[in-house]
Amino acid sequence: MANLDRFLTALVTNRGDALQLVTDQVATLRIAGQARPLSRQTFTTPQLLTLLREVASAESMLQIESGSETSFAYSSADGAFTAVSQLTAGRLSVVLKPDAVLEGSNGHAPKTRGTEAASAGSDSAKAELEVLLRELVARSASDLHLRVGQPPIFRIHGDMERDTALPPISNDKLQAMLVGVMPERNRSEFESSNDTDFAYEITGLARFRCNALRDRMGAAAVFRVIPAAVVTVDDLGIFEEVRKLCLLTKGLVLVTGPTGSGKSTTLCALVDLVNRTRNDHVITIEDPIEFVHPNKNCLITQRQVGVHTNSFKSALRAALREDPDIILVGELRDLETVSIAIETAETGHLVFGTLHTTTAAGTIDRLIDQFAADRQAQIRTMLSDSLKGVISQTLCKKIGGGRVAAREVLLTIPAVSNLIREGKTFQIASVMQTSRRLGMVTLNDALIDLVDARQVESREAYMKAVDKMSFANMLRQRGHDTSYLDASEGAAPRPTKTAAKAS
């Protein structure tokens, strides 16, 4: 790989018009007429000539070194480019543009420098992967798993289904598939750390969030569908009380749940509601960018960790200088990010974030426990003032196919704030049970509502419940089938509601 390729990847990723390299200056991207620095260090003329020797022909290099204005073509994994260089009085200037944005072709064919066969193989593997991704969407599956020695595996409504009509995938084929769609930055990360996250889009179909990894068999990958259309709060059936959180001018709102529980989809719907009903600046910090939000009433700035910023904490810190009204943090990963998010919510901004916790009370404990013991009292006080709501959700299999979210909703009323401040979060569940009229819902209540509505089987709901003993009692009181529980306890199966009516 040529050293110049990493700059060309940034040019394509940021949809720039040109890459400019000039002696004694940093590398610069030209985007919509604006200059954006791309490197920290300046380049000397010998360094620039070294970069060019890796991509230009010997004939072109002779012309460059003689001082003639020289144009040549080059292609990398990110596409075809045309370079124009000029060496004057010891200073070298090079401008590279993607062929798609050139104002007139120079008629030169891109030079592949002996990589035609490898490129063709990569293109073929990429085409095969895109066929699988189209099949992923056509089957209404959520995930595609690719493993060496296995046929493609689709997760459909929560179940893993192997496509036995297709042959097992070899390691070489899977590696070629991943390289065909992986940005250059992620290729380097994959080689060094054996896993990486990135997003891939098929125009007009959908975006996909990918995690590439290596296991004992070789390369592996998981692709998750991110629908091309932004989902709305109406599509997800989000309660009115949760929608009102989007009207706040400051505070912290958390969407939590295990991996694959639909947190990103719920946040997408809330951001879309803000985008349609407010006139503000929204900054999202994600890894990678999933749902793409067009500007409606709001100005939306979406930044990807590793591409547009180094980390969640650095982007969140920088966001305070970017005139935000609302900030979405894709994941509250570490202590510093959590600390900045709470402080940001306290200082007049609305902050949305996610955590991998299963209950609302557990979310609060997780936040506080990240801090040292001597700071926890202060954080409780800050959190009691800034936390406005927690939506903890889990996905359940629907009767007849599909999945539906059971959402536990905690809204911060004075009683809840006092419990957080006093370190009595174990009492929050009781407050939620007695405050349903205010819009609060416990996970057990959300699950039993789905069972009552015959959207979810009682056994599925029981498996998703956290407080299983209380939920089993709720099922029995309402006459739902609990035979699977009674049998395990050695008791005779109790009649179901349907059987009771039949008798």
pLDDT at 333 over 90: no
- How far are the Cα atoms of 57, 304, 339, 369 from residue 332, in angstroms, in the given order? 49, 15, 9, 13
Residue 251 lies in a domain: yes
CA-wise closest residue to 376 among 309, 423, 417: 423
Give the mean pLDDT of the chain.
87
101 and 191 belong to one structural domain: no
373 and 259 belong to one structural domain: yes
pLDDT at 117 over 80: no
Helix axes 373-386, 414-421, angle to 10 degrees: 170
pTM of the model: 0.69
Residue 503 lies in a domain: no
Tell which of 227, 242, 271 closes a domain: 227
Contacts of 124 (CB under 8 A, 6+ apart): 176
What confidence tier does 118 reach under pLDDT thresholds 50, 70, 90? very low
Contact 297, 275 (CB under 8 A): yes
Pairing of strands 79-88, 70-76: antiparallel
**What is the rounded average pLDDT of the residues 50-70?**
84
Q: What is the pLDDT of residues 396-451, one digit of tens each?
A: 999 988 899 999 999 999 999 999 999 999 999 999 999 999 999 999 999 999 99
Tell which of 113, 143, 174 closes a domain: 113
| Residue 192: domain span | 117-227
Residue 407: both structure tokens together: 């959402």
What confidence tier does 475 reach under pLDDT thresholds 50, 70, 90? very high
d(Cα 471, Cα 446) in Å, to the nearest integer?
Answer: 11
How would DSSP label each residue in 390-446? EEEEEEEEPTTS-EEEEEEEEE--HHHHHHHHTT-GGGHHHHHHT-GGGT-B-HHHH
Our count of domains for the chain comes to 3
**What is the rounded average pLDDT of the residues 215-229?**
91
CA-wise closest residue to 279 among 303, 295, 302: 295
365 and 450 belong to one structural domain: yes
Residue 16 lies in a domain: yes
